[in-house]
Amino acid sequence: MKKLLVANFKMNGNKDFYQKVNKVVNKIAVKDTVVLCPPFVYMPYFKIKNKNVFIGTQDMAGFENGKSTGQISPNMLKDFDVTYSILGHSERRAIGETNEIVAQKVKHAIDNNIIPIICVGGKTKLDEIVEQVEAVLSSVENNNKIFFAYEPISAIGTGIQPSVNQINIRLKLIKETAKKHGFDVGVLYGGSVNMSNIREMNKTIAEGYLMGTVTKNIDELMEIFKGDYE
């Protein structure tokens, strides 16, 4: 099955970097589904010609156009062919994004045909995961395409990953919780995924990965997109 490979470039890079990413990604053969999530201001540098590559964002507002200084609405993103949006990343939850705010964003993403990739499990606690998943699902219909990414803070940018078993327990919990509410969701893992550990991560039930640090290295990122680890 095709995996969903999400590149979260975070607040890194510059014009030259993103022009290069656009150039190289259009030249390689991608067998999985790739989602590139640059900072908003660099989105216009992407002219994707690869049918397996999509543009996503790292966040968006949970409401439509209006009096909201500094925000980017989901309907604006449609002008840039945005297909996915990472929502509720732990780095955003750390600056005050609550479950209620994340749920609002998920609802508006779906209303605008943007597929949400919702980050959960920062503290890896099982009850926290259930709470975060349920908070989001209560705001949307169950016929929509939704992904959840289990992203323990302890693994983000640290090089220290949970075991295959620890990851599987949490991904199964996300799937079961969603199922109870009538949803069939996709599950991803995120936290220090790179070329040296992706084969190990492929032993988990993850249907894809959310990647941060490795996105700074264009060559390594492209190797992952090409599936060179197999």
Instruction: Tell me the catalytic residues.
Output: 89, 151
Q: Which is nearer to ligand PGA, 113 or 158 (CB)?
A: 158
Cβ contact 184:177 at 8 Å? no
Q: Residue 193 — φ and ψ, nearest 5°?
A: -75, 130
Q: Quick one: which of 34, 55, 193, 206 contacts ligand PGA (CB under 6 A)?
A: 193
Contact 177, 133 (CB under 8 A): yes
Region from 59-67, 98-106, 174-182, 188-196 binding ligand PGA, contact rule CB under 6 A: 188-196
Number of residues located near ligand PGA, criterion CB under 6 A = 13
Residue closer to ligand PGA by CB (options 47, 220) is: 220
Report the nearest approach of ligand PGA to the CB of residue 111 (Å): 25
Beta carbon nearer to ligand PGA, 75 or 223: 223
Q: Does 191 bind ligand PGA (CB under 6 A)?
A: yes
Among 35, 156, 206, 224, binds ligand PGA (CB under 6 A): 156
Q: In whole angstroms, how close is the CB of 180 to ligand PGA at the nearest point?
A: 26
How many beta carbons lie within 10 A of that of residue 144, not counting itself?
17
Q: Which stretch binds ligand PGA (CB under 6 A): 101-109, 129-137, 177-185, 187-195?
A: 187-195
Figure out which of the listed residues 190, 204, 208, 224 binds ligand PGA, where binding follows CB under 6 A.
190
User: Which CB, 26 or 32, lies closer to ligand PGA?
Assistant: 32
In the complex, minimum distance from the CB of residue 8 to ligand PGA, in angstroms, rounded to a whole number:
4
The answer to whether 157 contacts ligand PGA (rule: CB under 6 A) is: yes
Residue 8 in contact with ligand PGA, rule: CB under 6 A: yes
What's the one-letter identity of residue 117? I
Site residues, ligand PGA (CB under 6 A): 8, 151, 156-157, 190-193, 210-214
